[in-house]
Amino acid sequence: MRGVMKALTHTQIHDFNEKGYLLVEDALSPDDLNPLIAEFEEIVDTGASELYGEGELDSTFKTEGFDTRLAKITAQSPVVFQKLFSGAHTGPALFELLVNPKLLDIAESLVGPEIMCHPAYRVRPKLPEHARTLVPWHQDAGYMEPDCDSVLQLTIWIPLIDATIENGCLEVIPHAHREGVFRHRSVKARLYLDIPLDALPEAEPVIIPVKFGSVLLFTNLTPHRSIPNTSNQVRWSVDTRYQDASKPTGYQPEAGFLARSRLHPEDVITTPEAFKHIRDTHQPGPGPQRWAEEEIHNA
């Protein structure tokens, strides 16, 4: 039996709907986040020891902290970074965060009580001065199929250290979520879709530092990007997405799962093992192909 739902206030819901984003301060405690940090630290430690044993590293960098060690390792080998970045990680602590009642209560305030954890959750260790982790202007909807453009797919962006201007926090364009999906481009040899400058709305962007324990909410139609990491820190974060479970996810390459349901509680995924099984056994379909590839000569 879960406790009393800690929903967003009417003011918070109004602000989210108006601006397309909302900063929720102190949404999570260290007890909610530290198990995932420990899970990532173990992966980094194991990977560093293996690479050092293979002669790929000249040190295991064991004296470095959570916010610096992966950068030191990645400067000599990308292997550990690649294990963690994006949606490949399926550890139990990550699952427990994705289904944390505090996050599901926030999601329920906006998408309703039948909650699908969207397939495209992401782990983001953003490295200093690192092109792979510099994400350009885009809308999450740009990566999804067009039948989801009218579906609220709520992103909850969760930093695992303080996200600052120096280490590359997010920047959003307020109110632009009301204007639909902007033109994106897909460029050969680029890692991400992006909205060309001539297609961006004219509204003034807002940079949003987010402290450890706070979370940033935004819609799938909110243009956003991560700014450069000019610090010596790894800006660790996780972004998870939630939506009405009755609506299409619009993303076939990966599997989502039912995270909360009053109509079908028997179908809710409740264990890390079941979560990992769904992710590992999903037969991916084709990803959305809504943007023709462009060639950019001055890229």
Q: Could you tell me the pLDDT band of residue 295, with boundaries at 50, 70 and 90?
A: low
Closest Cα partner for 133 from 90, 85, 196?
A: 85
Average pLDDT over residues 219-228: 97
Average pLDDT over residues 213-222: 98
The answer to whether residue 298 scores a pLDDT higher than 90 is: no
Give residue limits of the domains in the chain.
Answer: 19-29+90-291
Are the C-beta atoms of 222 and 239 separated by less than 8 Å? no
pLDDT, tens digit, for every residue of 32-50? 999 999 999 999 999 999 9
Closest Cα partner for 181 from 162, 168, 195, 160?
A: 195
Which one-letter amino acid corresponds to residue 168? G
Q: Could you tell me the pLDDT band of residue 148, with boundaries at 50, 70 and 90?
A: very high
Average pLDDT over residues 155-173: 98
Q: What is the DSSP letter of 194?
A: B
pLDDT for the residue 2: 46
Average pLDDT over residues 253-279: 96
pLDDT for the residue 164: 98
Average pLDDT over residues 246-265: 95
User: What's the CA gap between 249 and 168, in Å, rounded?
Assistant: 28
Average pLDDT over residues 199-224: 97
pLDDT, tens digit, for every residue of 167-211? 999 999 999 999 999 999 987 667 899 999 999 999 999 999 999
Token pair of 204, please? 């003034």
Query: Average pLDDT, whole number, for the chain?
Result: 93
**DSSP characters for 222-269?**
--EEEPP--SSS-EEEEEEEEEETTS-----SS--EEEE-SS-GGGS-
Look-up: residue for tokens 């299409």? 248
pLDDT, tens digit, for every residue of 63-107? 999 999 999 999 999 999 999 987 789 999 999 999 999 999 999
pLDDT for the residue 115: 98
Average pLDDT over residues 263-291: 91
pLDDT for the residue 296: 55
| Best CATH choice for the domain 19-29+90-291 from the list 3.30.9.10, 3.40.640.10, 3.50.30.10, 2.60.120.620 | 2.60.120.620
User: What's the CA gap between 158 and 140, in Å, rounded?
Assistant: 16
pLDDT for the residue 286: 77
Backbone angles phi, psi at 13, to 5 degrees: -65, -40
Write the burial class of residue 297 (CB in 10 Å: 0-12 exposed, 13-18 middle, 19+ buried).
Answer: exposed
pLDDT for the residue 13: 98
Residues in the chain: 299
User: What's the CA gap between 31 and 176, in Å, rounded?
Assistant: 35
Long-range CB pairs of 42-50 (<8 Å, 24+ gap) are: 43/80, 43/83, 43/84, 43/89, 43/91, 44/69, 44/70, 44/73, 44/80, 44/84, 47/73, 47/79, 47/80, 47/83, 48/73, 48/80
The answer to whether residue 244 scores a pLDDT higher than 90 is: yes
User: What's the CA gap between 108 and 248, in Å, rounded?
Assistant: 17
User: What's the CA gap between 150 and 173, in Å, rounded?
Assistant: 19
pLDDT for the residue 1: 36
